[in-house]
């Protein structure tokens, strides 16, 4: 007798009617990718749940990995037996007695296979009685048991579980298209990327840097942040944009109160070029309303004006504390607080306008010809692929 399976429950996916099959296939793919170094472990997909068949493998590292996969509501190690009363009793007894520090228990039986002769309610009684008479020192507590033994009699077999491990929820990455994440080295944008992935979206990233005013280590920090995010999905391509020339020109030619707004508009325009080329249909930023000068209603209006792409802002209504607590839980916080300069802080004046007026922004921009710098910037974009375990691989990719 052993826990030879892991039962995966989908949660929200069950609501998705028609798309369910596509979701479950994607989830199966995502799990398979996470355990590809364990060729003997198999995954069996059913309409309303999935089973990982361990074939002797240690369940703990697999459970650990599943805790990082979106689309899993909860999971449980499971004992699988044929639909036979005696076998079910044995398995329930094994579940109860194989765990230390358990004194009270409760049996919750569910019979979805109506061919099985004992009804759910009766099965509770039968199993509860059996456990009490075949073990020592245990008692039943239906309200707050140390262990809830769940018994599900299904078509193919009966599954017995005694632990319920919370998953991340969300939707499997790959079911909701792709977004271009504007990834800085700060606390917010990695969290925004995480939350977007949680809704099933794949991400690709763009990072603006300004060498030599920003250092290699500042760039490395962004790669490390991206690597943390790969743990929740897939390898991530980062488009690294050399932003120095454009920033220098902006800071020289645009009145200081407006340089931050113009710089952000340039970021959007460049992001749009990348999105067009890659067939990506939206952007994601770490903006949160009211946090800094660029995140007022007026600023967002002026910055958003240059693109018709949807800009996803998953943090828009969140408090900083909540954002920080997510960043701690996904292990990006310690990377984000490494003290390296960001391109925006290097060139941005002390007091950017918090309420930039769109006509003024356009007026200032129209007076300057940025074309040469823009072309040079686009031509200098470098694409780096970040995978979970390897160092980054460079891909050279000329945009124009």
Instruction: Specify the stretch interacting with Mg ion by CB under 5 A; choose among 80-88, 177-185, 242-250, 294-302.
Output: 177-185
Q: How far is the CB of 333 from Mg ion (least distance, A)?
A: 14
Site for ligand ATP in 206-265 (CB under 6 A): 206-208
Among 95, 168, 344, 378, binds ligand ATP (CB under 6 A): 344
Q: How far is CA 360 from CA 201, 256, 258, 277, in A?
A: 36, 13, 9, 31
Q: Give the nearest residue (CB) to Mg ion.
A: 186
How far apart, in whole angstroms, are the C-alpha atoms of residue 18 and residue 91? 36
Closest to Mg ion by CB, 59 vs 186, is: 186
Does residue 179 interact with ligand ATP by CB under 6 A? no
State both tokens at 251.
Answer: 């800071």
Binding flag, residue 356, ligand ATP (CB under 6 A): no
Backbone angles phi, psi at 280, to 5 degrees: -95, 140
Q: Is 182 in the site for ligand ATP (CB under 6 A)?
A: yes
Least distance between Mg ion and beta carbon 161 (Å): 44
The nearest distance, CB 288 to ligand ATP, in angstroms, is: 7
294 binds, among Mg ion, ligand ATP, none (CB under 5 to 8 A by kind): ligand ATP
Question: Which residue in 76, 295, 327, 392 binds ligand ATP (CB under 6 A)?
Answer: 295
Residues 172 and 27: their CA atoms lie apart, in Å, by 5
- Candidates 226, 173, 232; CA nearest to 202 is 173
Binding mask 263-292 for ligand ATP (x = CB under 6 A): ----------------------xxx---xx
With CB under 5 A as the contact rule, which of the stretches 59-67, 183-191, 239-247, 364-372 interacts with Mg ion?
Answer: 183-191
Task: Provide the edge-to-edge strand list for the sheet that holds 393-395.
Answer: 311-312, 283-284, 178-182, 202-209, 236-242, 382-386, 393-395
Contacts of residue 166, defined as CB under 8 A and 6 or more positions apart, other chains included, come to 67, 74
Residue 343 binds which entry of ligand ATP, Mg ion, none, CB below 5-8 Å type-dependent: ligand ATP
- Which residue number is nearest to ligand ATP in terms of Cβ? 186
From the list Mg ion, ligand ATP, none, pick the one residue 179 interacts with, judged by a Cβ distance below 5 to 8 Å according to partner type. none
The interface partner of residue 373, options being ligand ATP, Mg ion, none and the CB cut-off 5 to 8 Å by kind, is none
Find the shortest distance in angstroms from Cβ 342 to Mg ion.
5
CA 30 vs CA 27, 241, 346: distances in Å: 5, 30, 40
Judged by beta carbon, residue 65 or residue 199, the one nearer ligand ATP is 199
The reply on whether position 186 binds Mg ion by CB under 5 A is yes
Cα dist. 352→94, 177, 207, 257, 266 in Å? Answer: 67, 35, 22, 5, 16
Instruction: Return d(Cα 247, Cα 296) in angstroms, integer.
Output: 22
Q: How many residues bind Mg ion (CB under 5 A)?
A: 2
User: Which among Mg ion, ligand ATP, none contacts residue 318 (Cβ within 5 to 8 A by kind)?
Assistant: none
Contacts for 49-54: CB closer than 8 Å, 24+ residues apart: 49/7, 49/8, 49/9, 49/10, 50/7, 50/8, 50/10, 50/24, 51/5, 51/6, 51/7, 51/8, 51/78, 51/80, 52/5, 52/6, 52/8, 53/4, 53/5, 54/3, 54/4, 54/5, 54/6
183 binds ligand ATP (CB under 6 A): yes
Q: Are strands 72-81 and 158-161 parallel, antiparallel or unpaired?
A: antiparallel
What's the DSSP call for residue 313?
-
Using CB under 6 A as the binding criterion, the count of chain residues that bind ligand ATP stands at 20
- Provide the 10 A C-beta neighbour count for residue 69: 22
Q: Does 343 bind ligand ATP (CB under 6 A)?
A: yes
* Among Mg ion, ligand ATP, none, partner that 292 touches (CB below 5 to 8 angstroms by kind): ligand ATP
**Does 304 sit near ligand ATP (CB under 6 A)?**
no
Residues at the interface with Mg ion (CB under 5 A): 184, 186
Residues at the interface with ligand ATP (CB under 6 A): 182-184, 186-189, 206-208, 285-287, 291-292, 294-295, 342-344
């Amino acid at each position: 007798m052993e826990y030879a399976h892991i039962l995966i429950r989908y949660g929200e996916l069950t609501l998705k009617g028609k798309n369910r099959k596509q979701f479950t296939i994607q989830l199966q793919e995502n799990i398979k990718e996470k355990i590809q170094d364990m060729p003997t472990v198999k995954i069996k997909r059913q309409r309303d749940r999935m089973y990982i068949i361990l074939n002797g493998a240690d369940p703990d590292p697999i459970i650990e990995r599943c805790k990082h996969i979106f689309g899993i509501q909860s999971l449980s190690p499971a004992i699988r037996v044929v639909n036979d009363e005696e076998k079910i009793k044995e398995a329930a007894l094994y579940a109860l007695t194989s765990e230390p520090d358990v004194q009270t228990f409760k049996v919750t039986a569910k019979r979805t296979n109506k061919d099985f002769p004992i009804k759910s309610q009766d099965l509770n009684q039968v199993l509860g009685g059996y456990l009490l008479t075949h073990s020592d020192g245990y008692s039943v507590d239906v309200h707050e048991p140390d262990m809830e033994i769940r018994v599900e009699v299904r078509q193919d077999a009966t599954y017995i579980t005694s632990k319920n491990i919370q998953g991340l929820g969300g939707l499997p990455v790959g079911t909701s298209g792709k977004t271009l994440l504007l990834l800085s080295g700060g606390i917010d944008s990695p969290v925004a990327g995480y939350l977007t992935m949680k809704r099933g979206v794949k991400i690709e990233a763009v990072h603006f840097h300004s060498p030599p005013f920003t250092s290699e280590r500042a760039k490395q920090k962004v790669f490390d942040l991206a690597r943390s995010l790969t743990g929740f999905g897939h390898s991530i391509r980062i488009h690294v944009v050399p932003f120095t020339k454009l920033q220098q020109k902006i800071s020289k030619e645009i009145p200081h109160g407006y340089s931050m707004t113009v710089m952000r508009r340039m970021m959007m325009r460049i992001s749009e070029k990348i999105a067009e080329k890659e067939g990506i249909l939206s952007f994601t930023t770490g903006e949160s309303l009211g946090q800094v000068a660029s995140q007022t209603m007026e600023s967002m209006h002026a910055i958003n004006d240059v693109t018709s792409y949807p800009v996803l802002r998953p943090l828009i209504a969140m408090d900083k504390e909540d954002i920080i607590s997510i960043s701690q839980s996904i292990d990006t916080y310690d990377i984000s607080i490494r003290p390296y300069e960001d391109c925006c802080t290097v060139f941005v004046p002390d007091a950017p306008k918090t309420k930039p007026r769109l006509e003024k922004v356009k007026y200032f921009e129209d007076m300057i010809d940025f074309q040469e710098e823009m072309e040079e910037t686009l031509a200098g974009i470098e694409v780096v692929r970040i995978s979970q375990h390897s160092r980054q691989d460079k891909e050279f990719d000329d945009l124009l």
